[in-house]
Amino acid sequence: MTASHDVRVGFIGSGFARRVQLPALALVPGARPTAIASGHRANAAAAAQEFGLPHVFSDGVELARSPDVDLVVVSSTPDSHARFAIAALEAGKHVLCEKPMAIDAFEASQMVTASEQHPDRLAWIDHELRYEPNRRRARELIRSNAIGELRHVELSLKPYLRGDGRPQAFDAPWNWWFDAARGGGILGAVGSHLIDLCRFWSGSEITHVAGLVETFVTERKDETAAVRPVTADDYASCVLQTGSGAVATITLSTVALHGPGHLGQVTGSEGTLLLGGETTLELGKSGGPLEDISAPDDLWEQTKPNNMWARSFVRLMREMVQVIGGGTPQGEPATFRDGWQVQRVLDAIRGGRGVQLD
């Protein structure tokens, strides 16, 4: 039973929203899903039926302006994020926007502008890893000087599993994810999170960017078996430096066939943090062994899929609902301005291949 002061949540997009976000909302007290929009109205209607949502739209802008929605979750393809997020803010709604925030830093900065024009509305990016217990604990340990001065970070993802738990095998059928113009690609999908994590951990902005993206599988068949060109990246690797002097190396591959999944190592002057997969965190002091200090995840097996993204999304949504209700954030959510900082790094990685030798 929902109360009249529930936060009424509308979803733009019927893919990730239906698979992950709508199920997760059941775990967020004070939030009530009320609407869904999709350019493919049938998809929206099916999701509405499944989750009992009273309002269905075929245009995200209509949802953004609907009087039956307080918080708009923008889960459509990235090329539409700016339009929907700005419409929602202008309609006085709170916004949670999926990543990658936008197509480029220009769009991202337009979204920042809209958010700062409505300072009483929340405008957050769904960088839910800031609410993942181990990554948040890492932040606290770094801040409390547990590993001394932050020096370097390595983050990698090999192989790649989609956020919904489905494997992104290298023979995945063509969809928008493989289309750069719609905002596809691994760099935006996952790199954006990891770049944000480097900022979150270091408390510092990225000042230098070196690296590149690549597309190894240049054609894929779509659902009708038609061959389509792949324009989005399926691989990205970069070296970043922050204003604080720390260096981060991020490597992402959707074409890797094996590997440990997510892996992260953080080196400070006095110790090491090691993130293994989605659930383990180890701490080692200089000269000592690594010890398991994994934070418990109170939502273990409560979400579908049962992965860190879904569980962390629940926590981020709980925080958002609380803050909308007047509470103070317990964590450090990523604002639209954070998203813009990340987007500039994405743009710079895409823009160059470094020094040419021949």
List residues binding its own copies (CB under 8 A). Answer: 105-106, 109-110, 112-114, 116, 151-152, 154, 156, 158, 170, 205-212, 214, 216, 235, 237-239, 241, 243, 245, 247, 249, 251, 253, 255-259, 265, 267, 269, 271-272, 274, 284-287, 290, 340, 344-345, 348, 351-358
For residue 17, give the 3-state DSSP assignment: helix
For residue 253, give the 3-state DSSP assignment: strand
DSSP letters spanning 134-152? HHHHHHHHHHTTTT-SEEE
Of 321, 281, 326, 303, residue with least CA distance to 146: 281
- To its own copies, the closest distance from the beta carbon of 48 in angstroms equals 31
Which CB, 225 or 257, lies closer to its own copies? 257
Which CB, 9 or 206, lies closer to its own copies? 206
- To its own copies, the closest distance from the beta carbon of 160 in angstroms equals 12
Which CB, 247 or 324, lies closer to its own copies? 247
- Structure tokens, 313: 């999304």
- To its own copies, the closest distance from the beta carbon of 343 in angstroms equals 11
Which CB, 43 or 253, lies closer to its own copies? 253
346 contacts 195 by C-beta, under 8 angstroms: yes
- To its own copies, the closest distance from the beta carbon of 32 in angstroms equals 31
Cα–Cα distance measured from residue 327 to residue 199, given in angstroms and rounded to the nearest whole number: 25
Angle between helices 105-117 and 336-351 (to 10 degrees): 170
Q: How far is CA 68 from the centre of its chain?
A: 26
- To its own copies, the closest distance from the beta carbon of 239 in angstroms equals 5
- To its own copies, the closest distance from the beta carbon of 219 in angstroms equals 13
Which CB, 219 or 298, lies closer to its own copies? 219
Which CB, 14 or 267, lies closer to its own copies? 267
- Structure tokens, 318: 């709980």
Cα–Cα distance measured from residue 101 to residue 76, given in angstroms and rounded to the nearest whole number: 11
Cα–Cα distance measured from residue 47 to residue 67, given in angstroms and rounded to the nearest whole number: 20
